[in-house]
Amino acid sequence: MSDEQRDPQPVEKPKSGIELAREALAQAKADAKARGAQPGKTRKKRSRNTGASRRGGDPTAFGPAIRELLAARGWQERVAVGGVFGRWPEIVGPELAEHTEPQTFEDGILVVAADSTTWAAQLRLLSGPLVKRLNEELGHGTVQRVKVVGPSSAPRGTGRLRVTGGRRRT
């Protein structure tokens, strides 16, 4: 028999939980040091609701993440105006909202369509307080004026039953 067969390899005794924990801690410290972090140093506490100090990959709440995205893309005003369009009945009241509808918002001018000339005139009379109310919702100076458009009528065409020359005196 050879020496290898006579002297079996010593069997390693299983590690205790404390030994495994120590090895895991040592490995975590080594990994942190490799990343440039200093083991044992505490990190600054961050606010949970703001994404301002968050690192890439750290989770953040949905609301602050959306606000951060809107600010980064410059969409805050568009979203606010969209909210006004969606809440038009709450802002102007149900009766006026039934006969008017916001169409566009561009360069501080809100264009609102009315379904009749009467409601268009009514909205024109209320345009001052409406601008004030909208600026309370959107921020001071966002809406500079409200342009009201009434119902459009088709252009008058020319036909064989039209008078073309006017009256002739003889």
- pLDDT tens, 125-136? 998 999 898 888
> Is 64's pLDDT higher than 70?
yes
Mean of pLDDT values over 16-39 = 74
Catalogue the long-range contacts made by 102-109 (C-beta closer than 8 Å, 24 or more residues apart): 103/149, 105/81, 105/143, 108/141, 108/142, 108/143, 108/144, 108/145, 109/143, 109/144, 109/145, 109/146, 109/147
> Is 14's pLDDT higher than 60?
yes
What domains lie within the chain, and their CATH numbers? 73-149 (3.30.300.180)
Q: Which residues pair with 106 in a beta bridge?
A: 109
The CA distance from 79 to 23, in Å, is 53
> Is 62's pLDDT higher than 70?
yes
> Is 77's pLDDT higher than 70?
no
> Is 74's pLDDT higher than 60?
yes
The CA distance from 124 to 134, in Å, is 15
Mean of pLDDT values over 140-164 = 72
The confidence score (pLDDT) of residue 125 equals: 92
Mean of pLDDT values over 88-117 = 88
Q: How many CB atoms lie within 10 A of CB 153?
A: 6
- Give the range with max mean pLDDT: 18-27, 35-44, 144-153: 144-153
> Is 43's pLDDT higher than 70?
no
Element (H, E) at 157: none
Q: What is the band of 59 on the pLDDT scale with cuts at 50, 70, 90? A: confident
The confidence score (pLDDT) of residue 44 equals: 53
The torsion region of residue 42 among left (phi > 0), alpha (psi -120 to 50) and beta comes to: beta
**Per-residue pLDDT tens digits for 45-57:** 555 555 455 556 6
> Is 117's pLDDT higher than 80?
yes
